[in-house]
Amino acid sequence: MNIIQGLIETGNVGRPGWRIVNNNGAFGVVNNLSSNVFTILKDGTIGLGSNVPANLISTFSSNINVVANYGGSVSTDVVVKETQYASNYIFSTSNILASKINSIPIPWTSGSSNIYNLSCNVGIGTTNPAVKLHVIGGDIACAGNISAYYSDERLKTKVCDITEPLEIIDKLNGFYYIPNALAYRNGITHNTQEVGLSAQDVQSVLPEIVKLAPFDLARDEDDNMVSKSGENYLTISYERLAPVFVEAIKELKKDKCVLNEKYDNLLQDITLLKQKIDGVSESVSESV
């Protein structure tokens, strides 16, 4: 052990040791007398691989991984709490990195088994989500039901009926299609044959159910929804066609009832006419 000018050291060069520096209250563990491995300064800051930690806990190494590994039989949690600024978190459930969540801001909160965000948008495949959940570049799969919007009539003020639903449907054309080169350039990844309608056709008769395509959504400085590309690529809320189909079926049923009534009247007229013909035939036979 060496004690030199307030410096207490153990170990030899090239061998593990520790040092206490009295002039600034620092404690350090070194792998030799010139390279710090672990340092605690008098203000409580801790350095791993550094003798000048800039934060409460600072790490400095060519290998930047920080791993918390628990080998017991009881489940445990590793919690990183940040009280002021956005931070980066990495969570792993095994030796393989299971998931990464970068730059999680303060509004993210965890309670029991839930994680939620009270104010911000969530983006998957996009760094600028324009809506509460904005997914780009892939499918969304759900094994259960998806509930959205509202349908309770107590929440609605009826404006008008859907008139001439058959005329609306007559202006639409269903077709099979595959994505083209422009679709691929805009991040569409499917290459299978699909069935659908033209958003432009639907917009001409039902503009209420045509929206900006998710890949083209953005918010301007006034928080208005705008086209990110400026091209206003469109999509259709297909489920909103259901009311038109309902009214169209009802109209077809009315037409069927009218046709049935005409058929019944014609059948009755034919029956009466046949009876008259039969009567005339009998009269002719008797006269002969």
Burial track 23-40 (b if 16+ CB lie within 10 A, e otherwise): eeebebebeeeeebbbbb
List of residues 6+ apart from 155 with CB closer than 8 A: none
Question: Cβ of 185: how many Cβ atoms within 10 Å?
Answer: 8
* Residue 202, pLDDT score: 98
Model confidence pLDDT, tens digit, residues 143-162: 888 888 889 999 999 999 99
* Residue 100, pLDDT score: 43
Burial track 87-123 (b if 16+ CB lie within 10 A, e otherwise): eeeeeeeeeeeeeeeeebeeebeeeeeeeeeeeeeee
**Arithmetic mean of pLDDT, 47-71:** 69
Model confidence pLDDT, tens digit, residues 82-97: 444 444 444 444 444 4
Name the residue type at position 281.
S
Long-range contacts of the stretch 135-142 (C-beta < 8 A, 24+): 135/214, 136/187, 136/214, 136/215, 137/187, 137/189, 138/189
* Sign of torsion over alpha carbons 271, 277, 281, 287: positive
Strand 26-32 and strand 35-40: the pairing is antiparallel
* Residue 226, pLDDT score: 94
Contact 205, 212 (CB under 8 A): no
* Residue 90, pLDDT score: 46
Which of residues 30 and 141 earns the better pLDDT score?
Answer: 141
Which span out of 26-30, 132-136, 155-159 was modeled with the highest average pLDDT? 155-159
Share of the chain above pLDDT 70, in %: 68
* Residue 259, pLDDT score: 94
Model confidence pLDDT, tens digit, residues 183-203: 999 988 888 999 999 999 999
Domains of the chain by residue range: 2-59, 87-135, 160-243
**CA 83/CA 106 separation, integer angstroms:** 7
Check whether 52 has a pLDDT greater than 50: yes
**CA 128/CA 131 separation, integer angstroms:** 9
**Arithmetic mean of pLDDT, 94-120:** 54
**Arithmetic mean of pLDDT, 25-31:** 70
∠ Cα 37 39 40 (to 5°): 160
**Arithmetic mean of pLDDT, 225-244:** 95
Strand 217-219 and strand 114-117: the pairing is unpaired
